[in-house]
Amino acid sequence: MRCEELLKGLSYECVRGSIEKEIAEVVYDSRKISEGCLFICICGYNVDGHSFAKEAAQKGAAVLVVSKDVELPAESDITVIRVEDTRYAMAFISAAYFGHPADRLKVIGITGTKGKTTTTYLVKSILERAGYKVGLVGTIETIIGDTHIPASNTTPESFLLQKYFKQMEEAGCEIVVMEVASQGLKLHRTQGFTFEIGIFTNLEPDHIGPNEHADFEEYQACKGLLFRQCRLGIVNQDDAHMQAVLEGHTCQVETYGFDSGADLYAADLKLIHTPGELGIDFTVKAKDGESFEVEVPAPGRFSVYNALTAIAVCRHFKVEIPQIQKALLGAHVKGRIEMVPVSDQFTLLIDYAHNAMSLKSLLTTLREYEPKRLVCLFGCGGNRSKIRRFEMGEVSGNYADLTIITSDNPRFEKPQDIIEDIKTGMQKTNGRYIEICDRKEAIAYAIDHGQPGDIIVLAGKGHEDYQEIEGVKYPMDERVLIADILKERRQMKDALK
C-alpha cells in the first residue's frame, strides 16, 4: 500500500522525503521495526517512540510518523511525516491499512463507570439469539467467532482494534459490541471510524490519578467524546451527569432509565430469591406503547439498568420480545455477580468489585435480599493507592455482617502489609472481621462457615484467573479453588465413613 493512501483524511506535513513510497507494514512497537515499514512514534507513559527514529532509519523503515523533531542519519532516505498527535494519526492510518473494516460493520460502543462489561455480553447474547453474528471487545476478552483472546486493555490500541475489526469481518460478523474506556477515548484509540450506536451507562469518580485522568472534569469530558463519534446515542437519563456527558454531541439521542419520561423505562421491580440464586423481575415500557416482562438472573437495580441498556440497543436490530426474554434469562457474565453453586442453604457469588464505590454498590444491592448474614471476602492489589484499601475496609465494615480479609494481587508488596491497611479502614467501623492471608484458605473458611440464608460474596478478582506475586502471574481461578475445596471436603467425608 502506498504511503499517501494511508494518510488520507489526515492533516499532515511531509517534512522529508516522498509520500509516494510503498509500505510493507505499519508498526508502532519499536521491537517490530522492519525494512520498508511505516513506523509511528508514539509517546507512551514510560517510553517515547521518537527516541527510536534513528534506529528505524538504520533498519530500513520507509516512513516515520512523528509529532516532534527527531535525529536521523544524514544519508538516510527515510520519509518523515509530521502530525499534531501521532496516536490520533495512528487510528486513521490503521483503519486505512486494514481497509476500513468498521465501515462494513455495525459497531456499538458502551462507555460509563460501571456496567460496560456486563452490558456488552447481554447485547451479544440477545443479538446472537436473534441470528446475528457478533464480535466482542472488552475488559475480559475479545471474541471473534470461536476465538477468545484475553484482553490487556479494556479498549485496545487503535492498530490492534482495527486488526480485530478486520478479523471479525472475515469471520462473518455483522455487528461488534465493545467497551469504550475513557482512557481509550482520551488516547484516540476509537478514532478512524464512526460508531453506529454509542451508550452511556453512568458516571462516578474513578480512574483519576497519575497516568489516567487529571480530575473528574477530564474524566467526564473524555466519556463525552463517544457522542461525537456515533450516529445514535443511547443514554441513562437517571444519571446526574448525563447532560454534561452529552455536551457538544453530534448524534441523535435516546434515553432509558427508571423515569417514565425516558424513551424506554423499567417499572414494577420484584426481587427474586431462591436457594443459590438471586434475580430481579421487571416490566419494560416504551414510549411507543410496547410493554413486556423480563427476568434477569442477577440482583439489584444495576442489573435492571444493564438489561434495559441491552434492550434499548437490540430494539434497533428488530429483535423479537421472546428472543430478548430468553437471552436475558440465560445470560451469565464471568466474574460479574456470578453465582457459583455450592450449597442449597446459602448463596455464594463472585464479583469484580475492586474499589470502594463498586463494593458499596454491590453490598447495598445484596442487602436488599435480606440475607441472614452478608459475608464479604476481599483483598486489595499491591503497588496501588493505600486510600483504596482504607476505603474498601470501611465500606465492608459498614455494610457486611462479617468481612474476611485476604490477599488479592500483592504484586511487589507483602500481603500482610496490605491487610494491615485494610484493617485501618475496618477499625473505623463496628464491623466484625477475620484475616486469612491465603485466599484459598479464606474461601474455604467462608464455605465451611456458611449459614442457612447467608449471602457470601468473593470480591475483587471477578474474571481474573491469576494472582500476581513479585512480578509473576500464578494461575488462580476462584471457580477452580471452590471446586477443589468442595472435592477435598467430599474426600474427607468419604474417608470418615
Q: Mean pLDDT across the stretch 333-361?
A: 93
Residue 86 has pLDDT above 80, yes or no: yes
Return the ∠ at Cα 218 (arms to 217 and 220), rounded to 5°: 65
DSSP-derived letter for residue 315 is: G
User: What residue has cell string 486489595?
Assistant: 380
Query: Half-sphere exposure (CA, 13 Å, Cβ side) for 44?
Result: 12
Q: Mean pLDDT across the stretch 225-248?
A: 96
pLDDT of residue 275: 74
Query: Half-sphere exposure (CA, 13 Å, Cβ side) for 180?
Result: 30
Residue 212 has pLDDT above 70, yes or no: no
Arithmetic mean of pLDDT over the chain = 94
pLDDT over 90 percentage in the chain:
87
pLDDT of residue 14: 96
pLDDT of residue 209: 56
Name the pLDDT band for 220 (thresholds 50, 70, 90): confident
Name the pLDDT band for 45 (thresholds 50, 70, 90): confident
Name the pLDDT band for 188 (thresholds 50, 70, 90): very high
Residue 210 has pLDDT above 60, yes or no: no
Residue 214 has pLDDT above 80, yes or no: no
Q: Answer yes or no: pTM beyond 0.75.
A: yes
Q: What is the 3-state secondary structure (H, E, C) of 69-133?
A: CCCCCCCCCCEEEECCCHHHHHHHHHHHHCCCHHHHCEEEEEECCCCHHHHHHHHHHHHHHCCCC
Among 112, 115, 136, smallest CA distance to 124 is for: 136
Q: Which helix (H) or strand (E) holds 261?
A: none
For the stretch 436-450, pLDDT in tens is 999 999 999 999 999
Q: Mean pLDDT across the stretch 314-321?
A: 96
Q: Which three cell numbers stand for residue 487?
A: 472435592
Residue 332 has pLDDT above 90, yes or no: no
Name the pLDDT band for 385 (thresholds 50, 70, 90): confident
Domains defined along the chain, listed by start: 3-97 (3.40.1390.10), 101-330 (3.40.1190.10), 338-496 (3.90.190.20)
pLDDT of residue 380: 96
Name the pLDDT band for 30 (thresholds 50, 70, 90): very high
Name the pLDDT band for 265 (thresholds 50, 70, 90): very high
Query: Half-sphere exposure (CA, 13 Å, Cβ side) for 347?
Result: 26
Q: Which residue has the higher pLDDT, 221 or 291?
A: 291
Residue 160 has pLDDT above 70, yes or no: yes
Residue 279 has pLDDT above 90, yes or no: yes
DSSP-derived letter for residue 460 is: S
